[in-house]
């Protein structure tokens, strides 16, 4: 038995793609040329990930504007003045605001998956945005002729289609990005908003069979953008019991950047239910220092004291560039950190006699 290890999602874009994105935004190049640069970046990302020895690949989200907004990019009925997400360093990200219905995705994730799989014979994981994040598009004062219930019904159906399409297109696993889970406790310390998020996500997950849910996972982290986070100051222990109520087979849990990982691991061990796997974060994407394989090994061994080996995996804490314009981490640093994760996980497996 080996310890499975997987990337989370985004990889910093190469300079050529960043230039193309700026040129496209300013009208200097068209959609076709931008798509060509994105395709080149996907192919190179797949090749570089293969070189790290990673047994599972991702497309690095090279073609996504962000991990959160890919389904709605270019949709009519959106205005830019939606929910604001503040980060610890003072910068913000802002979601759009929905102004009319019905709500439909403009793009489904299987399109990214099919392009990525054309470049490799290795398993490819596909990340999708959790419906709870997109629920924040609906304004607090409502939308005339489109009640919130109708919006949520549409959102659940679209999220189901997004996940099912990727499963049917051959995804090794489908990962729901749930960074808003920890953030919800900052917005509502009572936990009511978190409970609403869990209930909404489970509405979608309940539509899948146990066999399908075994290939679905949820990623949680305190956000990571421009070397800052939006909710690292929120006690992880307040999130984890609710997180494990989500009806999935895999959990991808940020841990390397935690101040007290042993405390978090003890809570995971207590909350963990049989039949699921926890991929613990052993790489901190916003730390400029590249971890050594030995550091990763020691983090895995610490996790193995709390999590049964047949339920343990490793991952990065978060994506390295969840928004296309985030250049705070270099592409070379990201691949070096991924290499350390792969090598360190293998070291731990050997030490554990696997």
> Considering the domain 5-351 in this protein, what is its CATH number?
3.20.20.210
pTM: predicted TM-score of the whole model, two decimal places:
0.96
308: nearest Cα among 276, 283, 282: 276
pLDDT by residue (tens digit) across 243-263?
999 999 999 999 999 999 999
Residue 174 pLDDT = 98
pLDDT by residue (tens digit) across 38-69?
999 999 999 999 999 999 999 999 999 888 88
Continuous segment of H or E residues that includes residue 24: helix 15-25
Distance CA 45, CA 311 (A): 29
What b-and-e string marks burial along 250-277, b requiring 16 or more CB atoms within 10 Å of the CB? Answer: bbbbbbbbbeebeebbebbeebbeeebb
Residue 179 pLDDT = 94
Q: Any idea what DSSP says for residue 56?
A: S
Distance CA 227, CA 207 (A): 37
pLDDT at 175 over 90: yes
Which residue is listed with tokens 């190179």?
A: 44
pLDDT at 209 over 80: yes
Q: Any idea what DSSP says for residue 137?
A: G
Mean pLDDT of all residues in 344-354: 96
pLDDT by residue (tens digit) across 106-140?
999 999 999 999 999 999 999 999 999 999 999 99
pLDDT at 70 over 90: yes
- How far apart, in Å, are the Cα atoms of 49 and each of 62, 99, 321? 13, 40, 15
Question: Per-domain residue ranges for the chain?
Answer: 5-351
Strand, helix or coil at 54?
A: coil
Distance CA 339, CA 334 (A): 9
Residue 331 pLDDT = 96
- Name the token pair of 319: 């994506």
Strand, helix or coil at 253?
A: strand
Model confidence at 5, in pLDDT bands (50, 70, 90)?
Answer: very high
Model confidence at 74, in pLDDT bands (50, 70, 90)?
Answer: confident
Residue 237 pLDDT = 87
Q: If you average pLDDT over every residue of the chain, what do you get?
A: 95
Residue 1 pLDDT = 66
Residue 261 pLDDT = 95
- Point out the least confidently predicted range of 134-138, 172-176, 270-274: 270-274
Mean pLDDT of all residues in 60-87: 91
**Residue scoring higher pLDDT (73 or 48):** 48
Model confidence at 73, in pLDDT bands (50, 70, 90)?
Answer: confident
User: Could you please report the per-residue DSSP string of 177-246?
Assistant: E-THHHHHHHH-TTSHHHHHHHHHHHHHHTTS-HHHHTTEEEEE-S--BTTB-SSTTS-GGGTHHHHTTS
Mean pLDDT of all residues in 151-155: 98
């Amino acid at each position: 038995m080996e310890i499975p290890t997987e990337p989370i999602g985004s990889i910093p874009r190469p300079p050529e793609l960043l230039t193309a994105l700026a040129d496209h935004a300013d009208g200097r190049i068209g959609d076709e040329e931008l798509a060509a640069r994105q395709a080149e970046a996907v192919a190179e990302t797949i090749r570089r990930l293969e070189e790290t020895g990673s047994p599972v690949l991702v497309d690095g989200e090279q073609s996504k504007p962000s991990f959160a907004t890919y389904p709605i990019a270019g949709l009519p009925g959106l205005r830019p003045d939606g929910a604001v997400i503040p980060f610890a360093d003072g910068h913000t990200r802002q979601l759009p605001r929905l102004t009319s219905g019905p709500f439909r995705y403009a793009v489904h994730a299987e399109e990214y998956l099919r392009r990525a799989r054309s470049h490799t014979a290795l398993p490819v994981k596909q990340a999708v945005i959790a419906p709870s994040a997109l629920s924040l598009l609906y304004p607090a004062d409502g939308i005339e002729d489109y009640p919130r219930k109708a919006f949520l019904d549409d959102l659940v159906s679209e999220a189901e289609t997004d996940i099912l399409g990727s499963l049917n297109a051959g995804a090794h696993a489908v990962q729901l990005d749930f960074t808003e889970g920890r953030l919800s406790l900052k917005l509502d310390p009572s936990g009511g908003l978190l409970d609403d998020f869990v209930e909404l996500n489970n509405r979608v997950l309940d539509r899948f069979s146990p066999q399908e849910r075994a290939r679905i996972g949820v990623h949680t982290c305190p956000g990571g953008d421009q070397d800052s986070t939006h909710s690292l100051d929120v006690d992880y222990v307040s999130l984890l019991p609710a997180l494990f109520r989500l009806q999935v087979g895999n959990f991808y849990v940020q841990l390397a950047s935690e101040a007290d990982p042993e405390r978090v691991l003890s809570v995971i061990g207590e909350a963990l239910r049989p039949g699921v796997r926890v991929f613990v974060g052993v790489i901190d994407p916003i730390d400029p220092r590249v971890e050594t394989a030995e550091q990763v090994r020691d983090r895995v061994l610490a996790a193995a004291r709390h999590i049964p080996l047949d339920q343990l995996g490793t991952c990065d804490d978060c994506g390295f560039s969840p928004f296309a314009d985030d250049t705070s981490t270099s592409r070379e640093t990201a691949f070096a950190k991924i290499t350390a994760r792969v090598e360190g996980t293998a070291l731990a497996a050997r030490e554990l006699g696997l």
